[in-house]
Amino acid sequence: MHKTLKSTTISKLTIYRASAGSGKTYTLSKEYIKLLLKSPDYHRRILAVTFTNKATEEMKTRIVRELHRMANREDETYIGEIARETGLRETELPGTAEKVLAHLLHDYSHFSVVTIDSFFQKVIRSFAREMGLYSGYNVELDQATVLDESTDLMLDDLDKNDFLKDWLVDWAKRKIDEGKSWNFKSDVLKLGNEIFSEELQNIEPDLLKETTDKESLERFRAKLQNLIDDDTDRLQATGRRALTVMADFGLTADDFTQKAKGVGGYFQKLADRKDPAPNTYVLRAAEDIGGWYGKSSPRKSDIEAAYHAGLEEALREAVTFYAENARKTATAVSILKQINVLGVLCDLMRYVNEYTRGQNLFLLSEASGFLKTIIAGSDAPFVYERTGSFYNHFMIDEFQDTSAVQWDNFRPLVADSLASGYPDWIVGDVKQSIYRWRNTDWKILSEQVEADLGSPYVAVKNLDNNWRSAPEVIAFNNAFFREAVAQMRSAFTEGEEDAAGAAYLHTLTSAMTEAYTDFYQHLPEKNAGKKGYVKLSVVADDEAAEETWCDKVLKELPQRIE
């Protein structure tokens, strides 16, 4: 391995936080070129990762083009920048660039600017044997077809699987009760997409095994039902005790204020095992005896006597018990409603695995999760060494599109590189993570990278020039994001009086505000003469004309464009 660039000082991962038009690809390409100029064949020691084929080609093209321009002295300004940042002589750079470009073009297959999926595929192929795949296996991109075929195989085998048949019958009955079609195949297919999600792949293997075991699920279902029954029995007993006291004094629900909506009706609901949530009238009655009867109630004395004879104690007991156990019980009810779905999902996972192995297929969506299992928290990137490539430096473009699992897979590489004295780079825009494209998580770029690697190993820089947009567009964006962040903080925290809730919201809004600290962009001097145009319209529904805002926009948009 080449050690020529190893430094005695602490090497850092430089995070370029950059908004649209700020020259992200330009900056990353320049860092790549600066490394190449130190050694002609150094491209074999650099891995640059993007997320689309288009971005890959754009970066490769830019690197080759800039080397060609340097070799032919087409941009003296760029040559001057490179010379200042590398310490190389300007007079030597064209000849060095020509030599580097020749090496790169003659060894283009090792020009490792690739998509993250293609890099993971390369690693996966090194572990085909361990995965039980035969040589010549195919990487399958169309997971919908695989899911459809696997679902058909599962339904064909229903007579052999009593557990699954019973669960699907229960599912169909529940759909009928809800007034929906009993045909559940479309629901199974929709559910089946969860198999390919990183959330499921991120579950620890032992926990996944436990939750996919039918007998374990049945025991869990029984435990949940017992929990719900115990709580319901407790409230029912309280309700019946209260009804007995009411009967002793000749009272019915109609004798109390608000009748069925008041305390009398509440006790009847508890006795009938109905919704135990107390409404505002019941909660008021729990605080004040005045909430039990009206001012002109003819049974006021009887209600007061019953109140002191046990009704007040029963109501306080029921309201307190509900407040302490409502979340637990509601969670159990929700899980119980979906546990059949989990059982179907577990069987479907097995059929998908059998189908892909039988067809000698490997689903691309499984790559990240598989690598995480292999790495299992190891700091040594031995997994990647099996590919036959040894990288000193790592660059990741559009890092906001990185998912938690993907970062878990790259973290050992980056950490080992930094520990060996080699700098690395990532470029991204936290604001673009809101789209949650492919399970991305904005907190990875905002805070997780620095937390994982340690502050001494991370340097954050902002690219705050917008080289693409006109002055009017830049000014609008700066004003918009400044106001949007302020309004967001106000909307989240206004009226929050609960201390715990306020503390949580403060933490959340602080993190979100931090994510937008780099929103302000400057106008480069050379773009000052550009002309741009921004028009912002707030469009509302027109109820009188029975026209939605969407209809109005679709009608007006062509005229705006013209």
Confidence band (pLDDT; 50, 70, 90) for 224?
very high
Whether this model's pTM surpasses 0.95: no
CB atoms within 10 A of CB 468: 16
The predicted structure's pLDDT at residue 6: 47
Confidence band (pLDDT; 50, 70, 90) for 105?
very high
pLDDT tens-digit readout, 388-416: 678 899 999 988 888 887 888 888 889 88
Rounded to whole angstroms, the Cα distance separating 264 from 516 reads 54
pLDDT tens-digit readout, 488-497: 888 877 766 5
Rounded to whole angstroms, the Cα distance separating 165 from 163 reads 6
Mean pLDDT (whole number) for 29-37 = 94
Percent helix, strand and coil across the chain, each to the nearest 5: 65, 5, 30
Cβ atoms of 511 and 443 within 8 Å: the answer is yes
The predicted structure's pLDDT at residue 495: 61
Confidence band (pLDDT; 50, 70, 90) for 141?
low
Q: Which of 17, 9, 74, 154 is nearest to 450 (CA)?
A: 17
pLDDT tens-digit readout, 40-86: 889 999 999 998 899 899 999 999 999 999 999 998 999 999 999 99
Mean pLDDT (whole number) for 459-472 = 90
Alpha-helix residue ranges (DSSP H) falling in 376-403? 382-385
Rounded to whole angstroms, the Cα distance separating 98 from 69 reads 9
**Lowest mean pLDDT across 121-135, 462-476, 526-540, 544-558:** 121-135
Residue positions counted in the chain: 562
Q: Which residue has the higher pLDDT, 231 or 515?
A: 231
- Max mean pLDDT among 100-104, 402-406, 483-487 falls in 100-104
| Element holding 114 (H helix, E strand) | strand 113-115
Does the pLDDT value for residue 499 go beyond 70? Answer: no
Does the pLDDT value for residue 263 go beyond 90? Answer: yes
Confidence band (pLDDT; 50, 70, 90) for 1?
very low
Measured N-to-C along each axis, helices 312-358 and 143-156 cross at an angle, to the nearest 10 degrees, of 100
Does the pLDDT value for residue 101 go beyond 90? Answer: yes
Task: Compute, in degrees rounded to 10, the torsion defined by CA atoms 255, 258, 262, 263.
Answer: -30
| Element holding 201 (H helix, E strand) | helix 198-201
Rounded to whole angstroms, the Cα distance separating 314 from 240 reads 10
Q: Which SS3 state, helix, strand or coil, does residue 547 take?
A: strand
The predicted structure's pLDDT at residue 7: 45
- The whole-chain average pLDDT of the chain stands at 84
Rounded to whole angstroms, the Cα distance separating 185 from 190 reads 9
